[in-house]
Amino acid sequence: MKQNLALFDLDNTLLAGDSDYNWSVFLISEGLLDAEQHKARNEQFYEDYKNGCLDIYAFLKFQLQPLSQHPKAFLDELHTKYMTNVIRPMMTQKAQDLVNQHKVNGDLCMVITATNSFVTKPIATAYGIEHLIGTDPEMVDGQFTGGVSGTPSFQQGKVTRLDAWLATRGQTLADFDTSYFYSDSHNDLPLMKLVTNPVAVDADPTLTAYASANGWPLISLR
């Protein structure tokens, strides 16, 4: 029997909230970022993302720089607290049930997200999803540099990164008779248009309109 592919966006899809935006809010609450300097820029980048005009490299410079200021071991401890206090309350039973159903069906499951893999890998693991494509922060000698490694998995970059990952397995998207991609955001339309079963989840107005016009399912995991 051929295996199906199930792709999940993370923020505002599997999560009832945004792990990227809230990571900055969390760092501010921990006294690790200056609230005045950081809060307004974080809000503006989040609005740009929702409006489809995000400069991904400007955002990543902003978002990854704090990682370079602390040892990895300290960041890992911080992330454990972040998972408990912030992320777990955003993980909905409906989202977990959806993931579980795909796993029971034997589908190849992956979280594919623009948010950096330091923040998102433990979240994917918490959902029981082994495979993750996120934007990769650059590391040198075990320390984050504040830079980006490779192509950010954002908009068309998700297609690029997925194609490259499948190629390492000797596969292409066309090898799957059925492929799902669950997302809330119009930023994910490049990949949603390529799978056989795109599903709009608690979708933004642009994606809702596109999904409705094209007969795609519209669901809520809240």
Specify the CATH number for the domain of residue 132. 3.40.50.1000
Residue 32 and residue 206 in contact, taking contact as beta carbons nearer than 8 Å: no
DSSP state of 4: P
Model pLDDT for residues 23-77, shown as the tens digit of each residue:
999 999 999 998 888 888 989 998 999 898 999 999 999 999 999 999 999 999 9
Q: What is the pLDDT of residue 22?
A: 95
Residue type present at position 40: A
Closest CA to 98 of 161, 3, 7: 7
Q: What is the pLDDT of residue 40?
A: 87
pLDDT tops 80 at residue 81: yes
Catalytic residue, candidates 11, 107, 136, 202: 11
Cα 99 off chain centre by = 15
If one counts the domains in the chain, the total is 1
Catalytic residue, candidates 9, 20, 107, 184: 9
Q: What is the pLDDT of residue 207?
A: 98
Q: What are phi and psi of 207, to 5 degrees?
A: -70, -40
Range of the domain at 138: 5-219
**Is 204 known to be catalytic?**
no
Spatial separation of the C-alpha atoms in residues 220 and 184, rounded to whole Å: 9
pLDDT tops 90 at residue 110: yes
Task: Label residue 139 by pLDDT band (50, 70, 90).
Answer: very high
Which has more confidence, 164 or 1? 164
Spatial separation of the C-alpha atoms in residues 103 and 78, rounded to whole Å: 30
As beta bridge partners, residue 137 has 148
Residue 62 CB burial class (10 angstroms; 0-12, 13-18, ≥19): middle
Residue type present at position 200: A
**Is 97 known to be catalytic?**
no
